[in-house]
């Protein structure tokens, strides 16, 4: 990463339901430690955590009940919260795949300094929420360097993870 840039880390949906819960798998579980490594690298000026957030009346749109607000599965993994405990962190609850709120907040803060900001994303699921957030940020800050740490991401299947990685490369998102 380049010097003199404000470095922002976006940790996407590192919640119990996506890692060890109803939608978890071995790859998502393995991504937890890679995300902790990224946080512990101490190279980020700001850290945002997104949290997939649903309510009981939203079940008609979910493939399986998950991330119901205030449930155990909605909680961000303890390892992640311990890693960010001393950092400036903002948690963004999001009702859908990507967070318009987060993209707009970044746009409002950095639109006039796009080239002085670098955004890195990690988390789950690569083919749904990571790619959605990366694309929203790219659309709102088109001249900003956006990275995705491949080892610190995982998806429902390895194929969907790889497809999302390739799609992001096509959209000028750096895969590291």
Q: What is the pLDDT of residue 2?
A: 57
Question: What are the residues facing 146 on neighbouring strands?
Answer: 119
**How many CA atoms, within 13 angstroms, populate the side-chain half-sphere of residue 173?**
29
Q: What's the helix, strand, coil split of the chain in %, to 5? A: 45, 25, 30
Cα–Cα dist 89/168, whole Å? 25
Residue 82, Cβ density class (10 Å: 0-12 exposed, 13-18 middle, ≥19 buried): exposed
Confidence of residue 64 (pLDDT cuts 50, 70, 90): confident
The DSSP code sequence of 137-149 is HHHHSTTSEEEEE
Instruction: Over range 154-162, report the average pLDDT.
Output: 95
Percent of the chain past pLDDT 70, that is, above it, reads: 95
Q: Find tokens 């961000």 and name the residue.
A: 76
> Which of 37, 87, 91 minimizes the C-alpha distance to 69?
91
Nearest to 52 by CA among 74, 77, 80: 74
Residue with tokens 């995705």: 148
**Residue 1: predicted pLDDT:** 46
Mean pLDDT of 105-111: 95
Instruction: Tell me what pLDDT residue 11 has.
Output: 98
> Measured between alpha carbons, how far is 120 from 41 in angstroms, rounded to an integer?
13
Residue 124 has pLDDT above 80, yes or no: yes
């Amino acid at each position: 990463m380049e010097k003199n840039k404000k470095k922002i880390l976006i940790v996407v949906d590192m919640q119990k339901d996506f890692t060890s819960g109803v939608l978890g798998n071995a790859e998502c579980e393995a991504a937890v430690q890679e995300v902790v490594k990224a946080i512990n690298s101490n190279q980020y000026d700001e850290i945002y955590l997104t949290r997939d957030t649903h309510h009981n009346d939203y079940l008609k749109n979910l493939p399986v009940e998950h991330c119901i607000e205030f449930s155990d599965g909605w909680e961000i993994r303890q390892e992640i919260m311990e890693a960010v405990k001393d950092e400036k962190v903002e948690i963004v609850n999001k009702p859908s795949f990507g967070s318009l709120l987060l993209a707009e907040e970044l746009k409002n803060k950095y639109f006039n300094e796009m080239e002085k900001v670098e955004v890195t994303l990690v988390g789950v699921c690569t083919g749904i929420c990571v790619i959605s957030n990366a694309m929203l940020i790219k659309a709102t800050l088109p001249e900003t360097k956006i990275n995705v740490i491949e080892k610190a991401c995982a998806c429902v299947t390895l194929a969907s993870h790889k497809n999302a990685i390739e799609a992001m490369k096509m959209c000028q998102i750096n895969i590291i």
